[in-house]
Amino acid sequence: MTGTEMEKSSPQVVEAPQPRNETPTSTKSVTENAEMEKPDQTLKSGIEDQEEPIPHLHMKTYLTVFAICLIYFAQLINVVGAGAVSCKTACS
């Protein structure tokens, strides 16, 4: 097939006209609105006025932290014990 035959058999794509911006934004209108450049102060003041909730820790939280610390301690004892055994066999 030649290029002209492919063009004839291919569907035609109709381009839609691009919409034009009838009211362009000028530099003057943007600089006149100084409120657009400043952040909203009312939103910040509303967030800062709220009090933070007091955390309430349950017994399960203390038990979980204690169990994790106990596991770390057991791993430390295991590493120290393995080092002592390997030194005893290597040093003899």
List, for residues 63-77, the tens digit of each pLDDT value: 999 999 999 999 999
Structural domain containing residue 92: 61-92
Tell me, yes or no, whether 1 lies in a domain. Answer: no
User: How much is the average pLDDT of 54-61?
Assistant: 92
Tell me, yes or no, whether 29 lies in a domain. Answer: no
Tell me, yes or no, whether 9 lies in a domain. Answer: no
Tell me, yes or no, whether 40 lies in a domain. Answer: no
Tell me, yes or no, whether 4 lies in a domain. Answer: no
Number of H helices, E strands in the chain: 4, 0
pLDDT band at residue 87, thresholds of 50, 70 and 90? confident
The per-residue pLDDT for 80 is: 95
Tell me, yes or no, whether 92 lies in a domain. Answer: yes
At a CB cut-off of 8 Å and minimum separation 6, what does 9 contact? 1
pLDDT digits (tens, 9 = 90+) for 9-50: 666 656 666 666 666 555 555 555 555 555 555 555 566 777
Number of domains in the chain: 1
Whether the predicted pLDDT of 58 surpasses 90: yes
d(CA 90, CA 83): 10
d(CA 43, CA 36): 15
Tell me, yes or no, whether 44 lies in a domain. Answer: no
- Judge contact between 23 and 29, C-beta under 8 A: no
